[in-house]
Amino acid sequence: MSKQSPIIAPSILSADFARLGEDTAKVLAAGGDWVHYDVMDNHYVPNLTMGPMVLKALRDYGITAPIDVHLMVKPVDRIVPDFAKAGASCISFHPEASEHVDRTIGLIKDAGCQVGLVFNPATPLNWLDHVLDKLDMVLIMSVNPGFGGQKFIPEALEKLRLVRRRIDESGRAIRLEVDGGVTADNIGQIAAAGADTFVAGSAIFNAPDYQAVIKRMRETIG
């Protein structure tokens, strides 16, 4: 299956946490397609962010766009139903953080969400063996997880090319997402490597005009 239509998913990790609903609505009005929601537990990664209650608060505030939950937590399974109930659209997890990857995939789907598998810069792609056909998305990290505002790791480009090939060979409509250090300057080469779903946090939220950055990104990826 060839690339899906491009999606830009602003990471609200870099939003104004004191005005999260307002800033999330603002980035969507500026052209963001999805909300990328980073969940960090100070265990699997050395940082602590938001749980399901904050996600529900965003839904209650009126955010209706798809919410793309990136779980950087260990263990994974016990928090899945809470995120589904809170209003997550897609839940992605790191295979090293799950005791039973196939079971976690099933749990997320049974909870009514789309499912993604996340690859850190040093995580081998053989975690895709036997489960690729069950996934809605593969997420390639282009930074080590835990913080926004890091620099894009260029080796991620080759990984994107390899996964693009595997998705195309599978013939399935699986999204290929990239996360970490994505900017309006490098998004062109990232798209050329095969990504169709682009997470960007600091590049959007640290800019004075969200709409101008998102527009430039969209024009670059076509």
Binding-site ranges for Fe ion (CB under 5 A): 38, 70, 179
In the set 33, 38, 41, 136, the catalytic residue is 38
- Work out whether 94 is an interface residue with ligand 5RP (CB under 6 A): no
Q: Which stretch binds ligand 5RP (CB under 6 A): 10-18, 77-85, 125-133, 154-162?
A: 10-18
Please give, one letter per residue, the 3-state secondary structure of 5-67: CCEEEEEHHHCCHHHHHHHHHHHHHCCCCCEEEEEEECCCCCCECCCHHHHHHHHHHCCCCCE
Residue 179 labelled as part of a binding site: yes
Residue 70 labelled as part of a binding site: yes
- Work out whether 149 is an interface residue with ligand 5RP (CB under 6 A): yes
Residue 129 labelled as part of a binding site: no
Residue 14 labelled as part of a binding site: no
- Work out whether 15 is an interface residue with ligand 5RP (CB under 6 A): no
Residue 87 labelled as part of a binding site: no
- Give every strand in the sheet of 197-200, ordered side by side: 7-10, 197-200, 175-179, 137-141, 114-119, 90-93, 67-72, 35-40
Whole-number minimum distance, CB 210 to ligand 5RP, in Å?
13
Q: Pick between residue 116 and residue 148 the one whose CB is nearest to ligand 5RP.
A: 148
- Work out whether 181 is an interface residue with ligand 5RP (CB under 6 A): yes
Q: Are 4 and 172 in contact (CB under 8 A)?
A: no
Which tokens in the block code for residue 7?
Answer: 């999606």
- Work out whether 23 is an interface residue with ligand 5RP (CB under 6 A): no
Which tokens in the block code for residue 38?
Answer: 């980073």
Classify residue 3 as exposed, middle or buried by CB count within 10 Å of its CB (0-12, 13-18, 19+).
middle
- Work out whether 14 is an interface residue with ligand 5RP (CB under 6 A): yes
Tell me whether residue 77 is one of the annotated catalytic residues. Answer: no
- Work out whether 213 is an interface residue with ligand 5RP (CB under 6 A): no
Q: Are 155 and 178 in contact (CB under 8 A)?
A: no
Q: Are strands 175-179 and 114-119 parallel, antiparallel or unpaired?
A: unpaired
In the set 33, 136, 179, 196, the catalytic residue is 179
Number of H helices, E strands in the chain: 8, 8
**How many residues would you count in the chain?**
222
Residue of minimal CB distance from ligand 5RP? 201
Q: Give me the active site residues, please.
A: 38, 179
In the complex, the residues that contact ligand 5RP under the rule CB under 6 A are: 11, 13-14, 36, 38, 70, 143, 145-150, 179-182, 199-203
